[in-house]
Amino acid sequence: MEVSRGEDILVVMNRAATVTQVDAVLERVRALGVAPCIVPSPGQTVISAADQPITACDHLSKMPGVAEVLRVPPAYRLVSRESHPNSSVFRVAGTTIGGGGFTLISGPCSVENEEMLLQTANFLVARGVRLMRGGAFKPRTSPYSFQGLGLDGLEILARVKRQTGIGVVTEVLDAETVPQIEAVADVLQVGARSMQNYSLLRRLARSNKPILLKRGLAATLEEWLMAAEYLLSGGNQQVILCERGVRTFADHLRNTLDLAIVPVVQRLSHLPILVDPSHGTGDARCVPAMTLAALAAGADGVMIELHPDPARALSDGPQSLDFEGYARLHKQLNAMAGALGIELR
Ligand code: PEP
Ligand code: MN
């Protein structure tokens, strides 16, 4: 992969700088590689220079007529589409994420017991769904709520995976449990609450498993892409973004699903982007419409919560589809994907 590794800088000239001095700086920047550009700035010349070698700052600040040289934060250079014009595509558990198809990930919010997980996995496999979600370690708002089965939940995931062949997506809450989760999961999920847990991101950057990075509860696009940049810059190129709704003034649903971020992410980044209509709305009645909307918006797939008996779910029952609802939605998805010429995966 070809990436730019230099620094982006701004050269601020003295107000009294001469045309010759400005030209000399422009000449030097050009000689170092990337063409400079002059930033409009009243009464003063400011030169923007991208991808300069790290010695450029020192060099340029000593030139006549230069007031100061500022380093521009590198932003999300590895995540950006500029660094990687082709969309990233990842092979995982016999399916593909990114690059034009629509990948389905589905399953319960939490792994509750082996029977419900096996039942769900069989249901999904029968419909050609290759990836099942299910949390063993749950980030709950209340310490009194069900926290997940932990390592026992992981063992259940491992057994159901062995029996059915389905791929597993599960959340990793802390760096300590990464090895155990890596041993079972095909995709490691970073939850909304952990999006800015930088020590966890640094650890996951050393994993050879794809990371599903959910958008933080109130994260801007830039904060989200910068979190992804931690993973890529640390060595893990397999990052899948997941929009799961953000907190706004609107209180008619659990979150505000920001579907409009999908085309923006796709313009700015080469990483695949999924949509989670379950957490995005918090209401199973809204999930089918928002799933179809995600397909229409051009998302690379969805992650949907599914439970054999949502009324008895230990977490997120109100936003989980039951098998019947899921089957109905799957049929609609097939029809719509067919009409759009998009492959359902
Ligand atoms: C989940 O997927 O079950 C979950 C906890 O999601 P989020 O981190 O988006 O809240
Ligand atoms: Mn959930």
The predicted structure's pLDDT at residue 11: 94
The predicted structure's pLDDT at residue 104: 98
pLDDT at 6 over 70: no
The predicted structure's pLDDT at residue 43: 85
User: Per-residue pLDDT tens for 130-148?
Assistant: 999 999 999 999 999 999 9
- Which of the four pLDDT bands, split at 50, 70 and 90, describes residue 297? very high
- Which of the four pLDDT bands, split at 50, 70 and 90, describes residue 288? very high
The predicted structure's pLDDT at residue 73: 59
The predicted model gives 270-298 an average pLDDT of 98
Ligand 2 ion local residues (Cβ < 5 A): 109, 316
- In the chain, the amino acid numbered 145 is S
User: Are 178 and 151 within 8 A, CB to CB?
Assistant: no
The predicted structure's pLDDT at residue 83: 80
- Nearest-angstrom CA–CA distance, 341 and 129: 19
192 CB near ligand 1 (under 6 Å): yes
User: What's the gap in Å between 171 CA and the centre of ligand 1?
Assistant: 8
User: Are 21 and 13 within 8 A, CB to CB?
Assistant: yes
Q: With CA atoms as reference, report the closest residue to 271 among 246, 243, 296.
A: 243
User: Are 11 and 28 within 8 A, CB to CB?
Assistant: no
The predicted structure's pLDDT at residue 55: 84
Nearest protein Cα to ligand 1, atom 4? 191
246 CB near ligand 1 (under 6 Å): no
Mutate to test the pocket of ligand 1, among 279, 281, 287, 305 (most ligand atoms within 8 A of CB): 279
- Which of the four pLDDT bands, split at 50, 70 and 90, describes residue 3? very low
The predicted structure's pLDDT at residue 122: 98
Q: Which ligand is nearest to the CA of 134?
A: 1
Long-range contacts of 147-152 (CB under 8 A, 24+ apart): 148/110, 148/111, 149/110, 149/111, 149/112, 151/177, 151/180
The predicted model gives 319-340 an average pLDDT of 98
The predicted model gives 267-293 an average pLDDT of 97
Residues of the chain with pLDDT > 90, as a percent, come to 85
Nearest protein Cα to ligand 1, atom 8? 191
User: Per-residue pLDDT tens for 199-221?
Assistant: 999 999 999 999 999 999 999 99
pLDDT at 167 over 70: yes
216 CB near ligand 1 (under 6 Å): no
Q: With CA atoms as reference, report the closest residue to 214 among 154, 285, 163, 139.
A: 139
User: Are 153 and 135 within 8 A, CB to CB?
Assistant: yes
97 CB near ligand 1 (under 6 Å): no
Ligand 1 atom at minimal distance to the Cα of residue 192: 8
- Which of the four pLDDT bands, split at 50, 70 and 90, describes residue 263? very high
Instruction: Name the DSSP letter for residue 209.
Output: S
Give, for 202, the enclosing helix (H) or strand (E): helix 198-204
244 CB near ligand 1 (under 6 Å): yes
Nearest protein Cα to ligand 1, atom 9? 192
Lowest mean pLDDT among 32-36, 162-166, 233-237: 32-36
The predicted structure's pLDDT at residue 182: 98
53 CB near ligand 1 (under 6 Å): no
pTM of the model: 0.83
The predicted model gives 327-336 an average pLDDT of 98
The predicted structure's pLDDT at residue 49: 87
270 CB near ligand 1 (under 6 Å): no
Ligand 1 atom at minimal distance to the Cα of residue 303: 2
